[in-house]
Homo-oligomer: A and B are copies of this chain.
């Protein structure tokens, strides 16, 4: 649908869905979209009650464009915060619902310190690490952003109704799902890419192997965002995912808010957000991806992965991950078994 809207505009796509006249969409998918459109309740009423921010709006966060065709069509936004301002200097803190006391304490402590340093904390509003991260940020001066897998008006989990109310006072509760929609397993997974793309870096505080937090970490890695993890006891299942990310060199080991900021801090860090124009895509690249980009030959020169790794001074698996991410971001184009710079990659 992202591709359809990019090609024809949202209104033409909606008309095409209703009349069954969309080009290049197979029958099954067209039928599913038709069903969703007819089940859409009362969009005018939704828009009267909640803000809906779309690409091109002044408060659309440009960094979401790194998601390419998977960019959200728009975001439902509730709360007093400014979406672009709250997400420009932001860190995602994510982790297990079944967190230990250690994880909860570390998450709230880190979030509070990041908030003190002018960074908003982004998380998913769930039990455990997410809630601790939001609460820690609320204790400081910066807004916190909860990205939900359900409608922004759906109190899920129900026990977090007061937490979401507190978040709305200064920060934001956002979702790409329309109001009234309930969370599903698929919506959680799809939501995670927005957490990773919106923030400058993702910190996994506690995560069991094969958990949702690792899914967010995977998105951050693919998007060339800074990926960090908090180490924990090797005897704790809920730290095993973190220790493993560190061990494999996918995540940087961080033990304090200062170390997190050292990781995401770039030149121009303390410059206020530029009033117009999104954060440039290159600003959001990881250090490794920038090194890969710098190692590319100019013009239309093609280079193989081993040579890139050598020139960038990176282990081959890391270089390969960066190449894939840079390709997804439109910086590089595959050419046979190698890569070359695109116009965007050449900085034009």
Binding site for B on A (CB under 8 A): 102, 105-106, 230-235, 239-240, 243-244, 246-247, 252-256, 259, 309-311, 313-316
A-B contact pairs, 8 of them (CB 8 A): A106-B235, A231-B243, A231-B246, A234-B255, A244-B255, A247-B252, A313-B314, A313-B316
| Given A102-B235, A231-B232, A313-B315: A240 in contact with B253 (beta carbons within 8 A) | no
- When the two chains form the complex, which single residue of B102, B232, B254 contacts A247, counting CB atoms closer than 8 Å? B254
Do A233 and B234 touch across chains, with their CB atoms under 8 A apart? no
**Nearest opposing residue in chain B for A105, CB measure:** B235
Q: How far is the CA of A315 from the CA of B243 in the complex (A)?
A: 22
Shortest Cβ gap from A60 to chain B (Å): 36
Do B313 and A233 touch across chains, with their CB atoms under 8 A apart? no
**Nearest opposing residue in chain B for A295, CB measure:** B310
Q: How far is the CA of A164 from the CA of B105 in the complex (A)?
A: 41
Q: Which B residues lie within 8 Å of A105 (CB)?
A: 235
**Nearest opposing residue in chain B for A316, CB measure:** B313
Shortest Cβ gap from A180 to chain B (Å): 41
Count chain B CB atoms within 10 A of each CB in A244, A253, A309 and give the residue with the most. Answer: A253
Q: Which B residues lie within 8 Å of A230 (CB)?
A: 234
Q: A106-B234, A231-B243, A243-B253 are in contact. List 11 more A-B contacts (CB 8 A).
A: A102-B233, A230-B234, A231-B232, A233-B233, A234-B256, A244-B255, A247-B253, A253-B253, A309-B313, A313-B314, A313-B316
- When the two chains form the complex, which single residue of B233, B246, B310 contacts A253, counting CB atoms closer than 8 Å? B246
- When the two chains form the complex, which single residue of B231, B252, B313 contacts A234, counting CB atoms closer than 8 Å? B231
Q: Which B residues lie within 8 Å of A106 (CB)?
A: 234-235
Q: How far is the CA of A246 from the CA of B247 in the complex (A)?
A: 9
Q: Which B residues lie within 8 Å of A252 (CB)?
A: 247
Q: How far is the CA of A181 from the CA of B209 in the complex (A)?
A: 51
**Nearest opposing residue in chain B for A100, CB measure:** B233
- When the two chains form the complex, which single residue of B231, B259, B309, B315 contacts A231, counting CB atoms closer than 8 Å? B231
**Nearest opposing residue in chain B for A256, CB measure:** B234
**Top 4 A-B pairs, shortest CB-CB distance:** A231-B231, A234-B255, A247-B253, A246-B253
**Nearest opposing residue in chain B for A312, CB measure:** B313
**Nearest opposing residue in chain B for A234, CB measure:** B255
**Nearest opposing residue in chain B for A103, CB measure:** B233
**Nearest opposing residue in chain B for A310, CB measure:** B313
Q: How far is the CA of A243 from the CA of B229 in the complex (A)?
A: 11
Shortest Cβ gap from A208 to chain B (Å): 14
Q: Which B residues lie within 8 Å of A244 (CB)?
A: 255
Do A255 and B243 touch across chains, with their CB atoms under 8 A apart? yes
Q: Which B residues lie within 8 Å of A310 (CB)?
A: 310-311, 313
**Nearest opposing residue in chain B for A205, CB measure:** B234
Q: How far is the CA of A298 from the CA of B232 in the complex (A)?
A: 45
Q: Which B residues lie within 8 Å of A246 (CB)?
A: 231, 246, 253
Q: How far is the CA of A230 from the CA of B232 in the complex (A)?
A: 9
